[in-house]
């Protein structure tokens, strides 16, 4: 698989009264054609800003710098507004978390879909409308003709997210960025939307960058995953391999913290990660997970690079699992909660 | 401890410009024994938060009754009631007064009752902070200065300082990150044992519920459609809605694939609930009889369900 999206040393900085904040500090990421890559992390880790950098929507006064930020061989650094307009929609589409705030309440579903297609494609109004109908059918919306004439408030959350997906697909993009696409939805709706995304990817070969905090969502749809912590990637690899054998202590801690019926014993204490995320102004002159890591050693107080450990996997930690085997790690922390 | 019998709650609203009735609860029976953790699960709009508000005494049922420790909840003075039942809300950002220090917030239940002196209340707040794992130096901090997990700890400390018997937790971990969520789950488990608490847990997260609850009641459109001991309910759901909720759990395990959800996508509008069984419009097994009558309660083991065509 060829590299389709290539990000090297991406930094997003915010000038503030307290000095320069850096919510994304040196991020490396590759996405291949047709694959789903999940970018996983907790709130404030910089995953949404990474997505916005990829679609040119990082709000001022934030600054975006990178060694490489390219999409299908084209550099995205320093693009003008007109260049971005040619990319956004036809090549890169975005699905946001909350479909209520990303659809315009004053226009019907149909007119919003038609507007996107007529902006980017040379289509007559009638042809665009026919295609809108076809798209709504494809994303599984019942009685699509009626829905075209309705306003966003007349649709449920699940239907609105289906409309967003239809809109993202309308210009046949090569990459869809989905930022927490199911977080605002009910659990049964979430499963249905994830199933729809996977099915559409099979049919169209679109690459998906899925931003989420939910490792259950990652497990069910992503081919590869990248775990983000404090603005950096700490671990990447094929989803099944990372979930089965997490290499980074942070990934291990996250997986221990999730109750899973059938796997975790009811009522027993869950694993926890002590401490809190470092502020985005902490200089990255040491491992950023140092203060919270049960495996930390004095040698961790130096910058840690993201290095390949085996084909397809990379790790930002000087103490990989075989090195820390036999240490109590998180299990020593459980009763200290 | 808590006994809800035949409770209904209607709200007068306007729908399409015309007055209408939203029937949030349609005959709820729920008993919570002392020391039990009972979870109410269901999707948004099913009435679970309305039910929690009845159990807190913030709202009265339109009909039916809510008994707390053997007396109608409405017969308590609000300060008496607050001695028995305390809430923990979902969003620790909006449930703490931003202009009060943590010490003041946590001691507020004692201040309202006029218990002790300023110094003894502060000492009790310090002890409570230690119990929930808040560092002592935060006593003068404001909510904006602490993390979301610490705020939820403060909310739990405030709820427990007056030694209530019943804690009503409405989605206590939904607004928190995974690693913090597990801390709060552990804390609730520990507090429950330490303070001999009865807990009513409202949640849409079936994995969290499985971990904490002794008994689970599944709500759909204002009706409890199935209820039973946690292990039995998860091992053998009898109602198709319970089964779909369980199928929708996404475990973070390698090779997990989303299981097809066998139910329709749309919950009906609670202003115009379907005739008969509330779930029939999404149910894969619905037949004519489901449109005619609300299924009666069928006892099964230590639980019950309401379905004309239960699963085996």
- Is residue A82 domain-shared with residue A178, that is, in the same domain? yes
- C-alpha B47/C-alpha A325 separation (Å) is 49
Q: How many Cβ atoms are within 10 Å of B60's Cβ, its own excluded? A: 16
User: Is residue B176 very low, low, confident or very high in pLDDT (cuts 50, 70, 90)?
Assistant: confident
- Which of A145, A172, A199 is at the close of a domain? A172
CA gyration radius, chain B: 21
What is the DSSP pairing of strand B71-72 with strand B63-68? antiparallel
Whether B142 has a pLDDT exceeding 90, the answer reads yes
By C-alpha distance, the chain A residue nearest B192 is A267
The Cβ-side half-sphere exposure at B141, using a 13 Å CA radius, reads 16
Whether residue A111 sits in one domain with residue A55? no
Residue B265 has pLDDT above 80, yes or no: no
Complex confidence, ipTM: 0.84
- For residues A74 and A19, state if they share a domain: yes
A4 to each of A36, B23, B57, B263, how far by Cα in Å?
A: 12, 52, 58, 37
Contact in structure between B38 and B104 (CB atoms under 8 Å)? no
Shared domain check, A280 and A201: yes
Task: Decide if B250 and A263 are in contact by the 8 Å CB cutoff.
Answer: no
Chain B residue closest in CA terms to A250: B179
Name chain B contacts of A246, Cβ cutoff 8 Å: none
- Chain B, nearest residue to A254 by Cα: B179
B228-232 mean pLDDT = 96
Contact A266 B211 (CB under 8 A): yes
Q: Which pLDDT band, with edges at 50, 70 and 90, does B133 fall under? A: confident
**pLDDT on residue B180:** 84
Q: Are residues A328 and A225 in the same domain?
A: yes
Q: Is residue A225 within 8 Å of residue A236, measured between CB atoms?
A: yes
Locus of tokens 């590759």: A30
Strands (E), chain A: 3-16, 19-32, 36-40, 63-65, 68-71, 74-75, 92-95, 175-179, 207-212, 224-229, 232-238, 307-310, 313-315
Which of B44, B177, B252 is closest, CB to CB, to A42? B177
Place of tokens 């009265």: B60
Q: What is residue A188's predicted lDDT score, i.e. its pLDDT?
A: 84
What is the domain count for chain A?
2
B70 at A interface, C-beta within 8 A: no
What is the percent of chain B with per-residue pLDDT over 70, rounded to a whole number?
100
Q: Binning pLDDT at 50, 70 and 90, where does residue A130 land?
A: very high
Asked if A27 and A46 count as a contact pair (C-beta separation under 8 A), the reply is yes
Residues of B in contact with A273 (CB under 8 A): 179
A12-70 pLDDT tens trace? 999 888 788 899 999 999 999 999 999 999 888 889 899 999 999 998 889 999 999 99
pLDDT tops 70 at residue B121: yes
Closest CA to B282 of B51, B40, B43: B43
Query: How sure is the predictor about A163, in pLDDT bands with cuts at 50, 70 and 90?
Result: very high
Range of the domain at A107: 92-172
The residue-averaged pLDDT of B156-178 equals: 91
CA-wise closest residue to A197 among B246, A179, A184 = A179
Which residue in B has a C-alpha nearest to residue A266's C-alpha?
A: B211
Write down the pTM of the prediction.
0.89
Q: Does B78 touch chain A (CB under 8 A)?
A: no
Task: Answer with the residue of higher pLDDT: A23 or A98.
Answer: A23
Percent of chain A with pLDDT over 90: 64
Q: What angle do CA B41, B46, B50 make, to 5 degrees?
A: 90
Contact: B252, A264; criterion CB under 8 Å: no
| Chain Cα centroid distance, residue A158 | 19
Q: Are residues A186 and A267 in the same domain?
A: yes
At A337 the pLDDT is 43
Interface test with B, best of A165, A198, A257 (most B CBs within 10 A): A257
Give the model confidence (pLDDT) of A294-311 as tens digits: 999 999 999 999 999 999
pLDDT of residue A335: 57
pLDDT at A192 over 90: no
Q: Is the pLDDT of residue B119 over 80?
A: yes
B11/B9 Cα distance (integer angstroms): 7
Local structure of A34: helix, strand or coil: coil
Instruction: State which H helix or E strand residue A252 sits in.
Output: helix A249-257
pLDDT greater than 80 at residue A193: yes
pLDDT range class, residue A2, cuts 50, 70, 90: low
Checking if the pLDDT of B210 tops 70, the result is yes
Distance CA A140, CA A49 (A): 31
CA distance A244 to chain B (A): 6
Counted across chains A and B, CB pairs separated by less than 8 A come out at 145
| Res A159 pLDDT > 90 | no
CATH code at position A48: 3.40.50.300
Mean pLDDT of chain A: 90
Verify that A146 and A247 share a domain, yes or no. Answer: no
Closest-CA distance of chain B to residue A156, Å: 8
B14-51 per-position pLDDT tens digit: 877 888 888 899 999 999 999 999 999 998 888 999 99
Q: For A273, which residue in chain B has the nearest alpha carbon? A: B179
Cα distances (angstroms) measured from residue B124 to each of A226, B82, B90, B103, B115: 45, 17, 25, 9, 11
Verify whether the Cβ–Cβ distance B254 to A240 is below 8 Å. Answer: yes
pLDDT bucket at A113, cuts 50 / 70 / 90 = very high
- List, for residues A214-244, the tens digit of each pLDDT value: 999 999 999 999 999 999 999 999 999 999 9
Nearest to B83 by CA among B59, B112, B63: B112
The residue-averaged pLDDT of A170-184 equals 90
Mean local confidence (pLDDT), A256-279: 86
Let me know whether A234 and A276 are in one domain. Answer: yes
Cα distance between residue B159 and residue B156, in whole Å: 5
- In sign, the C-alpha dihedral spanning A126, A128, A134, A139 is negative
Q: Are residues A194 and A265 in the same domain?
A: yes
Residue from B49, B201, B245, B265 to probe the interface with A (highest A Cβ count within 10 Å): B265
Q: Which of B210, B254, B258 sits opposite A259 (nearest CB)?
A: B210
Please report the pLDDT score of residue A334 as a whole number. Answer: 66
My answer on whether A190 and A323 are in the same domain is yes
Q: Would you call A191 and B255 a contact, using CB atoms and an 8 Å cutoff?
A: no
A216, A220, A246 from B254: Cα distances, Å = 10, 8, 11
Where a domain ends, among A148, A172, A196? A172
Instruction: Assign 3-class secondary structure to chain B.
Output: CEEEEEEEEEEEEEECCEEEEEEEEEEEEEEECCCCEEEEECCCCCCHHHHHHHHHCCCCCCEEEEEECCEEHHHCCHHHHHHHEEEECCCCCCCCCCCCCHHHHHHHHHHHHCCCCHHHHHHHHHHHHHHCCCCHHHHHCCHHHCCHHHHHHHHHHHHHCCCCCEEEEECCCCCCCHHHHHHHHHHHHHHHHHHCCEEEEEECCHHHHHHHCCEEEEEECCEEEEEEEHHHHHHCCCCHHHHHHHHCCCCCCCCCCCCCCCCCCCCCCCCCCCCCCCCCCCCCCCCHHHHHCCCCEEEECCEEEECCCCCC
By the CB < 8 Å criterion, does B211 face chain A?
A: yes
Contact B211 A220 (CB under 8 A): no
Last residue of a domain, one of A172, A191, A207: A172
Residues A129 and A277 occupy one common structural domain: no
Predicted confidence (pLDDT) at residue B147 exceeds the cutoff of 80: yes
Contact B168, B49 (CB under 8 A): no
Q: Are residues A232 and A327 located together in one domain of the fold?
A: yes
Terminal-to-terminal C-alpha distance of chain A = 45
Angle at B198 between CA B193 and CA B201, to 5 degrees: 105
Residue A140: list chain B partners with CB under 8 A: 265
CA A108 and chain centroid, separation: 29
Choose the closest CB to A191 out of B210, B248, B254: B248
The mean predicted confidence, pLDDT, of chain B is: 91
Q: Verify whether the Cβ–Cβ distance A216 to B187 is below 8 Å.
A: no
């Amino acid at each position: 698989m060829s590299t389709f999206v290539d990000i090297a040393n991406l930094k997003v900085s915010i000038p503030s009264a307290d000095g320069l904040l850096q919510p994304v500090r040196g991020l490396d990421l590759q996405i291949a054609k047709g694959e789903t890559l999940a970018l996983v992390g907790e709130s404030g880790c910089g995953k949404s800003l990474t997505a916005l950098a990829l679609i040119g929507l990082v709000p001022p006064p934030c600054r975006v710098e990178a060694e490489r930020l390219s999409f299908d061989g084209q550099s995205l650094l320093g693009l003008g507004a007109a260049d971005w307009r040619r990319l956004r929609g036809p090549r890169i589409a975005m699905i946001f978390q909350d479909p209520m705030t990303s659809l315009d309440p004053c226009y019907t579903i149909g007119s919003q879909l038609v507007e996107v297609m007529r902006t980017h494609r040379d289509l007559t109004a009638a042809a665009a409308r026919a295609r809108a109908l076809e798209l709504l059918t494809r994303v599984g919306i019942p009685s699509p003709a009626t829905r075209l004439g309705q306003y966003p408030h007349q649709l449920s959350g699940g239907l609105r997210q289906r409309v967003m997906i239809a809109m993202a697909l309308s210009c046949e993009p090569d990459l869809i960025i989905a930022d927490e696409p199911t977080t605002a939805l009910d659990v049964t709706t979430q499963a249905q939307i994830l199933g729809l995304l996977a099915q559409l990817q099979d049919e169209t070969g679109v690459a998906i960058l899925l931003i989420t905090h939910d490792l259950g969502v990652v497990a069910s749809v992503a081919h590869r995953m990248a775990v983000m912590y404090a603005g950096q990637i700490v671990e990447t690899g094929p989803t099944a391999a990372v979930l089965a054998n997490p290499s980074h202590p942070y990934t291990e801690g996250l997986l221990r913290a999730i109750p899973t019926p059938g796997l975790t014993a009811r009522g027993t204490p869950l694993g926890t990660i002590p401490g809190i995320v470092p502020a985005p102004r902490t200089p990255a002159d040491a491992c950023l997970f140092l203060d919270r890591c049960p495996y930390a050693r004095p040698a961790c107080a130096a910058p840690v690079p993201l290095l390949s450990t085996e084909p397809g996997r990379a790790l930002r930690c000087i103490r990989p699992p075989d090195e820390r085997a036999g240490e109590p790690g998180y299990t020593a922390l459980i009763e200290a909660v | 401890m808590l006994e809800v019998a035949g409770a209904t709650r209607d709200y007068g609203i306007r729908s399409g410009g015309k007055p209408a009735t939203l029937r949030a609860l349609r005959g709820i029976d729920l008993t919570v024994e002392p020391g039990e953790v009972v979870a109410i699960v269901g999707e948004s709009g099913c009435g679970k938060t309305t039910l929690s508000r009845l159990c807190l005494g913030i709202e009265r049922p339109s009909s039916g009754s809510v008994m707390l420790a053997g007396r109608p909840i409405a017969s308590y003075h609000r300060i008496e009631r607050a001695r028995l039942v305390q809430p923990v809300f979902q969003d620790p950002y909006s449930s703490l007064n931003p202009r009060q220090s943590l010490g003041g917030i946590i001691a507020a239940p004692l201040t309202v009752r006029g218990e002790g002196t300023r110094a003894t209340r502060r000492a009790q707040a310090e002890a409570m902070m230690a119990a929930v794992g808040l560092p002592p130096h935060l006593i003068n901090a404001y909510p904006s200065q602490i993390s979301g997990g610490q705020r939820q700890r403060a909310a739990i400390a405030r709820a427990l300082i007056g030694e209530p018997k019943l804690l009503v937790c409405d989605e206590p971990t939904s607004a928190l990150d995974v690693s913090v969520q597990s801390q709060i789950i552990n804390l609730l488990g520990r507090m429950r044992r330490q303070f001999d608490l009865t807990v009513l847990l409202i949640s849409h997260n079936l994995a969290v519920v499985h971990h904490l609850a002794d008994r689970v009641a599944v709500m759909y459109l204002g009706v409890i459609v199935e209820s039973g001991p946690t292990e039995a309910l998860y091992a053998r759901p009898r109602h198709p809605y319970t089964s779909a909720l369980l199928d929708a759990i996404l475990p973070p395990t390698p090779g997990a694939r989303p299981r097809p959800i066998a139910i329709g996508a749309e919950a009906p509008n609670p202003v115009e609930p379907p005739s008969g069984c509330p779930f029939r419009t999404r149910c894969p097994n619905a037949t004519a009889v489901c449109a005619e009558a609300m299924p009666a309660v069928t006892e099964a083991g230590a639980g019950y369900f309401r379905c004309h065509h239960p699963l085996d």
